[in-house]
Amino acid sequence: MSVFTVINPATALPIREVARASEDETDAAISRAVVAQRSWASLPPVARADALRSFARVVEAHIEELAQLEVLNSGHPIGSARWEASHVAQVLNFYAGAPERLSGQQIPVAGGLDVTFHEPYGVVGIIVPWNFPMTIASWGFAPALAAGNAVVLKPAELTPLTAMRLGELALLAGLPEGLFEVVTGSGSVVGQRFVSHPEVRKVVFTGSTSVGTDVAAGCARELKPVTLELGGKSANIVFADADLEKAAASAPGAVFDNAGQDCCARSRILVERSVYDRFLELLEPAVQAWRVGDPADEATEMGPLISASHRSTVEGFLDGADVAFRGSAPSGDGFWFAPTVVLAGPADRIAREEVFGPVVAVLPFDDEADAIRLANDTIYGLAGSIWTENLGRAVRVSRGVKSGVLSVNSHSSVRYWTPFGGMKASGLGRELGPDAVEHFTETKNVFFATDAS
C-alpha cells in the first residue's frame, strides 16, 4: 500500500505516515457506503436524529484531542482549534433536528392528491481542503447524513488527521459501519473516483477555483449534482463615516486569521480616499501587535503557513509589491510568514489574485459607486465587509456588491444556521443554514388519482 508523510507545519518535522488509497480501495469504501445507506435511510427519522446527537456528544467529549491534532497537523492556534472542534459538534446538533422536519408538500390538483417527498441521493462524496479540515468536513457530512445519505469523505493529503479521527468517533458513537467512510489519498485518484463512480450521486468540493472547474466538468459528464465552494478575493470596504479605530482593529483578524489561508479572507481593504492615510496610521500598530508564534501557545493568534511550497507561492506575490509595513513572525524551522500590508492599484496582481496567505492589499476609493465598482472588479464573489454608520449606505452597498456573504461593521462570515456560499468564480450552490439538508435530497413528486370515474 502506498503512503504519504504528514508534516507539522510549525516545525517542518514529520508526524506520521498515512495510507494513500488506490482506486480499488476507494471503490471498496463506496461499496460499503452503498450497503450502509440503504439501512440508514430506512430508519425512522427520530432514530437518525438520535444517532447524530450521539455523534455530537462523542465529539464534545473529544474536543481537546481533536484540537491538539489540528494544532499538530495544521498549525492552527490552540484557541482556534478548540473553536473548530466545538463547531463540528454544534453543526451535528443543528442538523440532528432535520430528519424529523424534512417535510414535503401537498399541492392542490384536480382529480386527486399531489405530494412531494425528499429522497436521499444515496452516497455523497465530500472533498475537503487543508485550510479548515474539521469545520468544512462537518458542513458536508452533517446535513448529508441527516438527509439519509451515506458519506465518503476525502481529506486533503496535507491535513488528514482530524478527519480520520472523526471517522473513528462516528463508529464510537454508534453510526453503522460504512456509513461515514474517510478515504485518504490523492485528489487525482480518490477525488476523481468520487466524480466518476456511478454510485456516488452527489459531490461536494471545497478548494481552488481551477480544481473546482474540473470537478464541475466531471460531474456534468455524469449528470451528477455538485456543490462548489471555491476561491475569494473579498473586499473590506471602509467609508469615511465609519468607526475607523474599530475598523482598523478588526482588519487583521479579517485577513490574518488562519494565516490568511481562508477563502473568506478580506484580502483587499478599500478605504475612502479622505481617510486613507488616517486608516493606515491606525492599521499599522494593529498589524504589528498581531501575535504570530507557536500554535500550542494560548496567546498565539496566527500560526505558520501549511507547507514550504505554499510559503514560496505567497512570497512570490510580494515581488515588486509596494510593502507598507509588516508584522513579525518566528524564524527558523516551520513555514512562518509575517503579516504584510501592501499598497496597491486595481490592476496590480496582488489586488486581483487570491494570495491565500497573510497579505492584504489596501486601495483608495472616491465615493460609494467607486467602492462598489472596485469591490466587484474581480472574478470572485464570496465574502466581504462594509464599515459605515449610514444604514442606507450599508443597504445600498450590500445590495450592490456581488458576493454571497457580507457583513456590516463586522467581518463575520460563517454561522451554521445561515446560508454560506459564493457567486461568480467563488462557487456554486449553498452550504449551511436550515435548508442545507434539502440540498442533499432529490424531490420526488407523486400524484394519487382519486376521481372515481
Burial status of residue 172 (CB atoms within 10 A of its CB: 0-12, 13-18, 19 or more): middle
Q: How far apart are CA 100 and CA 94, in angstroms?
A: 12
Whole-angstrom distance, CA of residue 272 vs CA of residue 397 = 14
Our measurement of the distance from residue 231's CA atom to the centroid of its chain's CA atoms, rounded to an integer in Å, reads: 10
Concatenated DSSP letters of 363-425: EEE-SHHHHHHHHHSSS--SEEEEE-S-HHHHHHHHHHS--SEEEESS-----TTS-B--SGG
The x, y and z cell numbers of residue 42, run together, are 430506512
Beta 13-19 vs 235-238: how paired, if at all? unpaired
Distance separating alpha carbons of residues 178 and 167, to the nearest angstrom: 10
User: How many C-beta neighbours within 10 Å does residue 412 have?
Assistant: 12
Environment class of 214 (CB within 10 Å of its CB; exposed 0-12, middle 13-18, buried 19+):
middle
State how far the Cα of 294 lies from the Cα of 26, in Å rounded to an integer.
Answer: 36
One of 219, 263, 272, 354 is an active-site residue; which one? 263
From 229, 272, 354, 431, the catalytic residue: 229
Distance CA(270)–CA(286), nearest Å, equals: 17
Is 263 labeled as catalytic in the residue annotation?
A: yes
Joined grid coordinates for residue 282: 491606525
**What is the rounded distance in angstroms from the CA atom of residue 270 to the CA atom of residue 366?**
10
Residue 214's alpha-carbon distances to 156, 261, 452, in angstroms, are 17, 22, 53
What amino acid positions are annotated as catalytic residues?
229, 263
